[in-house]
Chain A
């Protein structure tokens, strides 16, 4: 009881007198920060879509960093306007706020913290192609609470940063400007595997979407269904992966037919 009585005046001393707090300034800082964040959040992705391809990932990646820095600066600016900042005061306030908010908005705060961690661990960046759970798409925006993905079917999916704690996250390009595309073919086993590898390699080499700087791999393995061939290669622009895979598939099938091989369908193989 006695401790409670002594704590109350201490808490009162941490906060400045109401008359000394410049609410107008605080409101301006919050408004200015919000405006700057919104401006950057809208402008940079817009420029990234229209500007040179090589700058796109860099511009998109700058948005969450700017927001983090702007928010941190705003908080650092506001705190001394409200509180008398000392180490003791800081610990008391942080403890109190942590307990109160932690119970009320556990998942939300967890997502925010995950968003903060994601800024440094970078399991995803804006512009990356990631798979979270069963959702695969391009990271359109990285928020403090959630990221949004645009899938190959043009759906927008919001994934909470919370997933960072308990889900496997597959990042297809990891900050690079291209990613590996894989096209699968299943063939009945009686064919000339060497010629088939060479033919499928030529299919990749002559694709208009091909990135010259990356390797082409034709992987062959024997499976119960038939001979599995994986054509692995990279497009020069990862957003064209749908076109690239379609092109490889269509022309790969032509090459397979031209060499007299037959594709197998899983139901037929099972039957």
Chain B
């Protein structure tokens, strides 16, 4: 079945305001609502919230597969949208802002720029952002396409941390050079408020969220390339193949529809959730070697993790700060948080699996993103547009 599933078709980028995240399948929505209600009714105010919401509780998550090349379908979409524009010597719009979904671990736009040998403009180190320097004008002149991969690297949410992004936007306002600006959706929401980015830059584009069909075909494509020939993926609840289609080429199981809704159509979030849901059977007898299958991987039901809305404010403030900045060091985290009493919380979040640490910097984990966003939404935090 996987062998016959075609790869996803690329879709050009869409305006951010036209974005529609995939809807939940009815049955999954009811089930999730019931589970949330149960969580709400049984949650104790006394327990430490981290303990019950751990993400790292499954020991035998199948993780043999390499991190997939997310960039290939998304880069194709960037190419489809931007190549003609980049080749036009006098385009109607010199600047193309691209709002990216959060938790982009691979630096999609940087990779795209490198692939096409475009000039990349990187900011100075974050530490330098807090030095109160007089207003500076950035020289953005040159030939070819200029790419600013992460606008979120140009500011810190600190009273002295907005100077550089203001200078950059000021320079961009009159720029007559092809320029692609990447910004994650949480940073974009903040920058629209803080520095009126939406007034200075043109309307941003974003990737069309991966719906059930694109997600199924994309994951099937990766599995075809990476998994052992003949591997079957079956739901542990009923043993049915998750890639199976009916006579009308519609999926028999709602797994990918649920996955698309849970991940809000974000490819890398969906991938990480998918990877977490794969398990090998512990005993060899559990493996099904019937027909031409060499191995069966069991897909466990997608669990709903939730952060508390009322008693985890410290944790939520850290997670919100990380989403806005993409990544922060421990010291930067202290600078952007409102209260000095946060020292221990990011360690707890790290242990619990909501955030990850790489070279001394903390990031929100893509697999935890749906839970984090839901927690922030429940507590009333300002949200992103993706």
Interface of A with B (CB < 8 Å)? Answer: 47, 49-54, 177, 199, 202-203, 205-213, 236-237, 240, 243, 247, 251, 254-255, 258
Decide if A236 touches B40 in the complex (CB within 8 Å).
no
Check: B68 CB closer than 8 A to any chain A CB.
no
Docked CA distance A207–B324 (Å) = 13
> Are A236 and B382 CB-contacts (below 8 A) given A202-B159, A208-B157, A251-B159?
yes
Query: Chain B residues near A199 (CB, 8 Å)?
Result: 159
Instruction: With CB as the reference atom, state the residue of chain B lying closest to A235.
Output: B380
Decide if B338 touches A53 in the complex (CB within 8 Å).
no
Instruction: With CB as the reference atom, state the residue of chain B lying closest to A207.
Output: B338
Show 5 A/B contacts (Cβ-Cβ < 8 Å), sorted by A.
A50-B309, A51-B378, A208-B337, A212-B382, A236-B382
Check: B61 CB closer than 8 A to any chain A CB.
no
Decide if A255 touches B159 in the complex (CB within 8 Å).
yes
Report the minimum CB–CB distance from B22 to chain A (whole Å).
Answer: 21
Instruction: With CB as the reference atom, state the residue of chain A lying closest to B313.
Output: A240
> Are A47 and B382 CB-contacts (below 8 A) given A52-B377, A206-B162?
no
Decide if A206 touches B159 in the complex (CB within 8 Å).
yes
4 other A-B residue contacts (CB within 8 Å) besides A236-B382, A258-B160: A199-B159, A202-B160, A206-B157, A208-B336
Decide if A53 touches B309 in the complex (CB within 8 Å).
yes
Query: Chain A residues near B313 (CB, 8 Å)?
Result: 240
> Are A237 and B161 CB-contacts (below 8 A) given A207-B338, A209-B338, A247-B339?
no
Query: Chain A residues near B339 (CB, 8 Å)?
Result: 243, 247
Decide if A211 touches B40 in the complex (CB within 8 Å).
no
Interface of B with A (CB < 8 Å)? Answer: 40, 43, 132, 157-162, 189-190, 192-194, 309-310, 313, 317, 320-321, 336-339, 377-382
Docked CA distance A254–B158 (Å) = 12
Report the minimum CB–CB distance from B269 to chain A (whole Å).
Answer: 21
Report the minimum CB–CB distance from A132 to chain B (whole Å).
Answer: 26
Docked CA distance A203–B338 (Å) = 11
Decide if B162 touches A205 in the complex (CB within 8 Å).
yes
From the candidates A50, A53, A206, A212, name the one contacting B158 in the complex (CB within 8 A). A206
Main secondary structure of the interface of A (DSSP, over half): helix
Query: Chain B residues near A206 (CB, 8 Å)?
Result: 157-159, 161-162, 194, 336
The 4 closest A-B pairs by CB, nearest first: A53-B380, A247-B338, A212-B382, A212-B193
Instruction: With CB as the reference atom, state the residue of chain B lying closest to A55.
Output: B378
Query: Chain A residues near B378 (CB, 8 Å)?
Result: 51-53
Docked CA distance A8–B278 (Å) = 85
> Are A208 and B320 CB-contacts (below 8 A) given A50-B309, A255-B159?
yes
Docked CA distance A50–B194 (Å) = 31
Report the minimum CB–CB distance from A242 to chain B (whole Å).
Answer: 11
Query: Chain A residues near B162 (CB, 8 Å)?
Result: 202, 205-206
Decide if A237 touches B193 in the complex (CB within 8 Å).
no
Docked CA distance A236–B382 (Å) = 7
Report the minimum CB–CB distance from A210 to chain B (whole Å).
Answer: 8
Decide if B159 touches A237 in the complex (CB within 8 Å).
no
Report the minimum CB–CB distance from A24 to chain B (whole Å).
Answer: 34
Query: Chain B residues near A52 (CB, 8 Å)?
Result: 309, 377-378
Query: Chain A residues near B43 (CB, 8 Å)?
Result: 50
Query: Chain A residues near B40 (CB, 8 Å)?
Result: 47, 50-51
Query: Chain B residues near A209 (CB, 8 Å)?
Result: 338
Docked CA distance A255–B162 (Å) = 14
Instruction: With CB as the reference atom, state the residue of chain A lying closest to B195.
Output: A205
Report the minimum CB–CB distance from A195 to chain B (whole Å).
Answer: 11
Decide if A53 touches B337 in the complex (CB within 8 Å).
no
Docked CA distance A82–B264 (Å) = 60
> Are A243 and B309 CB-contacts (below 8 A) given A50-B40, A53-B379, A199-B159?
no
Instruction: With CB as the reference atom, state the residue of chain B lying closest to A54.
Output: B380
Instruction: With CB as the reference atom, state the residue of chain A lying closest to B338.
Output: A247
Query: Chain A residues near B337 (CB, 8 Å)?
Result: 208
Report the minimum CB–CB distance from A181 to chain B (whole Å).
Answer: 13
Docked CA distance A54–B161 (Å) = 31
Query: Chain B residues near A54 (CB, 8 Å)?
Result: 380
Docked CA distance A212–B196 (Å) = 11
From the candidates B189, B193, B309, B380, name the one contacting A205 in the complex (CB within 8 A). B193
Query: Chain A residues near B158 (CB, 8 Å)?
Result: 206
Docked CA distance A255–B313 (Å) = 26
